Structures are given as C-alpha cells and as structure tokens.
Chain A
Amino acid sequence: MLDSARQRVLWGIGILVVLLYALIPVLWIASLSVKPVDKLTDRKFFSGEISFDNYQSIFKDDTFIAALVNSIGIALIATLISIVLAAMAAYALSRLDFAGKTVILSGALAVAMFPPISIVGSLFDMWRSIGLYDTWAGLIIPYMTFTLPLAIYTLSAFFREIPWELEQAAQVDGATPFQAFRKVIVPLAAPGVFTASILVFIFAWNDFIFANTLTSTDNARTVPAALAFFTGGSQFEQPIGAISAAAVVVTIPIIVMVLIFQRRIVAGLTAGAVKG
C-alpha cells in the first residue's frame, strides 16, 4: 500500500486535515467547559487555568440530571425494542420468501427517508390529544419509526451474509430452531447487531427535533433539548460554560459505546464457514 515516502507523507497530511477538521470543534467545546467564567471570552484555546466549576454546577442542577436520566433511558429502551424487533424482522426477510416482501422493504425505506421535521407538527397535536405528550413513550415511538427501518436494513444485510447451510447443519446436529438461532446465528450476526445498535442509539441520543417539540418538562426532556433551556447563575450571566460542560458529558456515552463495540464490529467473522 504505502510503497513510497511521498505517498506516506501525502497520506499523513490528508489524515491530519481530516482529524483537525473533525476534532477542533470538539476540543474547543472541551476547552470551554473547563474555563473559569471570567476567561470564557479570552479567545484562547488554553487559558492556563482549569476549573471544574461548570461540571459541578451542571451536576447540581436537577434539570440536567433529569434530562440525563431521560436521555439514557429513552435511548436505551428505543435501541432495545428496535433491535429485538428488527432482528426478528430482518431474519424473516433474509430467510423466508413471502408475498409482499419487497413492499415491506421499500415501505421501510420510504419511512426512513421521511424528514422528521415534516411530521413533528401533527405529532405534537396527536400526542397532546392522546396523552403521550411529554412522556417517554411519546419519544420512543417516533424514534422507533426512524430507527427500525435503519436497523432492519443493516441487520438483513448481515443475516444474508450468513450461509443458510450453517443453520441446517445445526439442525441436523440436533439443535432446535431456537438453539440454532442462539448458538450459531446470533454469535455470527453479533457484529451486525452491535453495528445496528450503535446507529440506533446514536440516532435516539442525538435527536433534537422530537425531544424539543414533544416535551415540555423534566418528565421526558432529553439532554439535547434541555441544553437549549440552560440558564446561567443569574439572568445576566451567559450559560456558555455550563452548556459546554453538558455537551461534553453527553458526548462521552457515545464515545464509550463506539470504543467498546468497535472491537466487536470486525469484518470477516464468518470467514472459514464455507468454501469459497
């Protein structure tokens, strides 16, 4: 691949540009979050003084704690339900031949392509009249409409890669269909399940439109929406430091998840199952 020094240098420069482009805003937020209030506008990356006041203040704030709990709970539940449903749907779609298969797949794609902004207005009215407004379920349901198609598509691609013979071999070896699914198919589809889970979790975690429109109190408001309602210590104080600290805090779970699961998302896990 890297056969000459020239190529290596060019690659290095390219990677550096991409890294700077992607990481400078993140670093800027991180640096803002550890600045004392009076240094916030000093236009320096590093002001020489590190203070964790902002973090202390947001974790003393009930609104933020409630939002964090909401975010974690809603994203996890949405992910769990989506993945379980999507795994079963994708398994059926990749293994069975039934009438209306293409309709289901294209329907799922159509739903996923719908811009969220176009449905929040009517959802707002509907949720208020049926009592889902400002509840966890009120957010989980719309999240699932967008995450399910995504998960179904990702997972069915993975299931299709698993040779059908493996399952048949397991059945002949004496496994019940469920044992075959659990002991052979699931371990092999694990990278797919993790990939889909991460995508779904990130979608639910990052959403702002639904969270902002369909909630009004700490009952169900998630962190991205809660950030918009942050206020400073007094009416004259800018809450920039607190917002930055909160932004860093909500980024951490995503980073941790990706770091944990990226090791499991290894391609070629099914290598060696079948010849050629």
Chain B
Amino acid sequence: MAKITFDGVTKRYPDGFEAVKDMSLEVEDGEFMILVGPSGCGKSTALRMVAGLEDISDGELTIGDEVVNQKAPRDRDIAMVFQNYALYPHMTVRDNMGFALKLHGVDKEEINKRVEDAAKILDLTEHLDRKPANLSGGQRQRVAMGRAIVRDPSAYLMDEPLSNLDAKLRVQMRTEVSRIQNRTDTTTIYVTHDQTEAMTLGDRVAVMRAGVLQQVDTPMELYNRPKNLFVAGFIGSPAMNFMPATVEGDTVKLPMVDVRLPEELRERVGTGGEDGSRELIAGIRPENFEDASLLGDDTRDRGASFKVTIDMIESLGSEIYAHFSVSSDKAIESDELRELAEDSGAGEVPGGGEAGDIVARLSPESQVKKGDEADIFIDASHIQLFDPSDGSSLTA
C-alpha cells in the first residue's frame, strides 16, 4: 500500500522533445487512478516512469515515503501489466506467476499457495501447467493480471491491459479488473486511451494532452464540469458538439437558435467587448437535445427550440442519435479541437461558412425520420461555454 506522488515530473528526450511536462499528481493510497488521453499524450511514458523503465528528466517521483527517481524497477515494489502481456513464453502459467516471488527468495510452498490462490480468483486453476502459447487472448490477459496480484505489491501499474481483447471480452475483463482492485485495495495507476474505460473504472481520472495534465477529477465531475475544450470533447461518447456562439446580454446566439442563459451561467460568463457582446465556443452534449414534440411546456421554458432537417438517424433501441448539420459564418480556431478531430474523427465544428455535423440523443419514443424537418429542443442549463483564446471553460 502506498501513495504515489508526481512532483513536477518531466520527461525530456535527447532530441529536446518533452513527452511529459511538469506533471504534478497525487495518487492516494488504495486509489484507482486512470491516466487517459489520445495516443502520444505521454500517459504511457508517465506510467513507465513510475515503473522505472524510463528515466525521469526533472522533478520528483515518490512511492510511499521514498523518492524513487534513481531506483531500479526491482527496488520499487510495483507490479506492471503490459499492453501485450509480456508473458515469459518458455515458462508455464504457474512459473510465470511465481517468477517474481522466486526472484525474491520466497519458499516454494508459499509460492505455490499464492499462485493457486490467484489462479482461483482469475479462474486459471486448470491452466496452471500450460504454456502461454496454448492460451487464448483472454486467458493470457488473466495470467498477466495474475503475475501482478500474486506479488501483493504496493502498487499496480497497468498499461492499456485490455486494448488487445475483443469488445465483449474487454467489457467482461473491465469488471474483473475493477473487482480485483476493490478486493486488494491496492493503489493502481491504469493507462488507457478509451474514455469509456476511464469513466467506468476510475476513482479519479487524469486527462492528459500533449504531455500536460489537463484535469484530474472524478468521472462525473469531468463529465459535468470539464475545465477546458479538450476535456469536454474527449470525455463522453458520442462527443460533445461544439459551435461558435456570441453572448449578448443574457442570450447566447448559437448558429441555429438564440438561447436565454440561466442566471447562474450568465454571471460566470460576464460580458466581454465594449458593446457587451463576446465571441465564445459553445459546447452541448448530445443528451442535452431532445425532440421538442415529446416535451411539456414547463420543460420547454428551460431552453429553446429550433427546426432542422435530420440527415441521419442511428437507432440503438434505448436511444436514438439524430445527426443534422448546422453552418456558421464565424470561424473557430482551436488546437485542442483540431487534436480531438484527429484523434477520434469527431469534433467536426461548423464555422467559416462550412456546415458541421451535430449529434443529438433523442428519446426512443421520438418519431423523427431521416429527411424530416424536426423540432429540436436545447436545454439551456447544460450549455457549456469556452473561451476561444485558450479553450478554458467559463461555465465549469
């Protein structure tokens, strides 16, 4: 059991590239911390620095009460699960799981007992004497997990442990990982690029972008109060819709409709220019739209409705995703949005006279069809507004 602290940790490569920039983060004892971000954001590098597989260029890394910057991986008392599992192919499952204990000079009986206990938890008992080559992907993944848990280390480090599994197995193993972490109550740092994994597994989630920590919070806080455009766009699926907006007095002018802002939002946004108007980026989550025809008048008062032609319908049974396009003359310039678009293909933003795709999540009762002109409602209390100059949220 140990607390892991990053204090201004930086990873600089010889060519000057900084993979992790001045990262400060405290992972509490027993906490399940997720590092999430698009590929190349430095999350794996950060994890490998904790493991001791990468040198730390600057800053201090503490595990427990000890600064471990200069310690070899074997002296850090951590266990790591690799993305490709890295099982020892020449050893049986039993030897794979017992390898670390053997190196630490634990006696044979104790090793056997602990390996068998772990195998029971992971449902591997009947495979203990097989070699990794003869196991399925899911079983190999469990052996990799088993290798970590038999050691009872002070922290687990997991580097995208589920990304090589197929979708169904991934969901299953996600529950498993969560159960094991709960049971052992061991500090865990878990790296993933999948925001669903991040949201479902983590006690807290740290979102990274280009080597910089963007926001560290509980999944719900990240979802409801993202600190900037990047976090807002990265967390949530389908992603948040972004569009240029102008705030004038108590109304925000969106490309499709003007919406009256609720009191508490208006205060926080403030007024910008001399004429009292301000150019902003508005973000609306798909579920903050609704088919207006399904709503009563009292609900309708909380926002505004507009008419739009539906381009496409995706029906999932429990919900309907309606796609429609909106165009705007105003342009949005944002590196964060560009990066989001590159990473997920989403985040196509209307602006500069171009149309952008907007996704709305509608109730399954909605009768909207492709090509229909529909009446769509926006919930004003959930509109998020961002400063275009630095992407920071004005509503968080």
Binding site for B on A (CB under 8 A): 163, 165-166, 168-176, 179, 183-184, 187-188, 268-276
Tell me if B171 is interfacial: C-beta within 8 Å of chain A. Answer: no
Residue of A nearest to B81 (CB): A169
Least CB distance from A168 to B in Å reads 5
Count chain B CB atoms within 10 A of each CB in A165, A176, A183, A271 and give the residue with the most.
A165
28 contacts between A and B (CB under 8 A): A163-B84, A168-B51, A168-B80, A168-B82, A168-B86, A169-B80, A169-B88, A169-B147, A170-B99, A171-B73, A172-B51, A173-B79, A173-B147, A173-B151, A174-B74, A174-B100, A175-B74, A179-B103, A183-B99, A184-B88, A188-B89, A268-B133, A270-B89, A272-B131, A274-B84, A275-B85, A275-B137, A276-B84
Instruction: Give the residue name and chain of the B residue nearest to A276 (CB).
Output: B164
Contact A176 B74 (CB under 8 A): yes
For A171, A175, A274, A275, the residue with the greatest tally of chain B CB atoms inside 10 Å of its CB is A275
Nearest Cβ in chain A — how far from B328, in angstroms?
44
Please tell me if the beta carbons of A272 and B53 are within 8 angstroms of each other in the complex: no
Determine if A168 and B88 form an interchain contact, defined as CB atoms under 8 angstroms apart.
no
CB–CB B85/A187 < 8 A: no
Which of B89, B104, B151 has most A Cβ within 10 Å?
Answer: B89
Contact partners of B151 in chain A: CB under 8 A: 173
A174 and B89: CB pair below 8 A?
A: no
CB within 8 Å for A165 and B86 given contacts A171-B74, A173-B99, A272-B140 = yes
Q: Which 5 pairs across A and B sit closest by C-beta, in order of nearness?
A: A272-B133, A274-B84, A165-B86, A272-B132, A173-B100
A259 to B218, CA, bound (A): 63
Bound Cα distance from A166 to B74, whole angstroms: 14
Q: Which residues of B contact A171 (CB under 8 A)?
A: 52-53, 72-74
The complex places the Cα of A271 from the Cα of B130 at a distance, in Å, of 13
- The smallest C-beta distance from B124 to any residue of chain A, in angstroms, reads 15
List of A residues within 8 angstroms of B133 by Cβ: 268, 271-272
- Complex contact B88–A273 (CB within 8 A): yes
B183 lies within 8 A of chain A by Cβ: no
B87 to chain A: which residues have CB within 8 Å? 169, 272-274
CA distance A179 to B100 in the complex (A): 11
Complexed CA–CA distance, A100 and B103 (Å): 36
Chain B 99-120: CB-based contact to A (< 8 A → 1; otherwise 0): 1100110000000000000000
Q: Do residues B103 and A169 form an inter-chain contact, with CB atoms below 8 A?
A: no
B135 contacts chain A at the CB level, 8 A cutoff: yes
B134 located at the interface, meaning its Cβ lies under 8 Å from any Cβ of chain A in the complex: yes
A91 to chain B minimum Cβ distance, whole angstroms, is 17
Interface residues of B in 22-68 (CB under 8 A from A): 51-53
Contact indicator A273/B89 (Cβ below 8 Å): yes
Contacts of B51 in A (CB 8 A): 168, 172
* Interface residues of B, Cβ cutoff 8 Å to A: 51-53, 72-74, 78-80, 82, 84-90, 99-100, 103-104, 131-135, 137, 140, 147, 151, 157, 164
In the complex, which residues of chain A have a beta carbon less than 8 angstroms from the beta carbon of B164?
275-276
Q: How far is the CA of A276 from the CA of B87 in the complex (A)?
A: 13
Cβ-neighbour of B78 out of A172, A269, A276 (below 8 A): A172
Number of A-B contacts (CB under 8 A): 87
The closest CB in chain B to the CB of A167 belongs to: B86
Evaluate contact between A172 and B90: CB separation under 8 angstroms: no
Hey, which chain A residues are within 8 Å of B134, CB to CB?
Answer: 272
A276 to B163, CA, bound (A): 12
Task: Name A186's closest neighbour in chain B (CB-CB).
Answer: B90
A171 to B51, CA, bound (A): 9
User: Are A272's CB and B135's CB within 8 A?
Assistant: yes
Partner of A271, one of B52, B86, B89: B89
Contact residues in A for B52 (Cβ distance below 8 Å): 171-172
| Complex: A273 Cα to B53 Cα, angstroms | 19
A192 to chain B, nearest CB (A): 13
Check B84 against A168 for contact (C-beta < 8 Å).
no
Which residues of chain B are near A276, meaning CB under 8 Å?
84, 164
- Between B53, B86, B131, B157, the greatest number of chain A beta carbons within 10 A of the residue's beta carbon is seen for B86
Q: Which residue of A lies closest to B100 (CB)?
A: A173
Question: Does A172 lie within 8 Å of B88, measured CB to CB?
Answer: no
Cβ contact within 8 Å between A273 and B132? yes
Measured CB to CB, the closest approach of chain A to B209, in angstroms, equals: 26
Find B103's partner among A175, A269, A271 (CB 8 Å cutoff).
Answer: A175
By a CB distance below 8 angstroms, the chain B residues around A174 are 74, 100, 103-104
Which of A172, A176, A269 has the most B CB atoms < 10 Å from its CB? A172
Chain A residues, Cβ within 8 Å of B137: 275
Known: A168-B73, A175-B74. 8 other contacts (CB 8 A): A169-B87, A170-B88, A170-B99, A172-B52, A176-B72, A183-B99, A269-B89, A272-B132
A184: nearest chain-B partner, CB-CB? B88
Q: Complex formed: what's the CA distance from A103 to B78 in Å?
A: 39
For A166, the chain B residues whose CB sits under 8 A away are 86, 88
- A188/B53 in contact, CB under 8 A: no
Residues of B within 8 A of A187 (CB): 90
The CA of A271 and the CA of B135, in the complex, are separated in Å by: 11
- With both beta carbons as reference points, the residue of chain B lying nearest to A169 in the complex is identified as B86
In Å, the complex CA distance between A272 and B89 comes to 6
Residues of A within 8 A of B100 (CB): 173-174
The minimal Cβ–Cβ distance linking B51 to chain A, given in whole angstroms, is: 6
User: Which chain B positions have C-beta within 8 A of A274?
Assistant: 84-87
Q: Is the CB of A275 within 8 A of B74?
A: no
Expressed in whole angstroms, the minimum distance between the Cβ of A10 and any Cβ of chain B is 34
Residues of chain B within 8 A (CB-CB) of A179 are: 103
The smallest C-beta distance from A244 to any residue of chain B, in angstroms, reads: 44
A68 to B26, CA, bound (A): 70
Q: In the complex, what distance in Å separates the CA atom of A173 from the CA atom of B91?
A: 14
Closest to B132 in A: A272
Residues of A within 8 A of B74 (CB): 171-176
Contacting residues, chain B, for A165 (C-beta < 8 A): 82, 84, 86
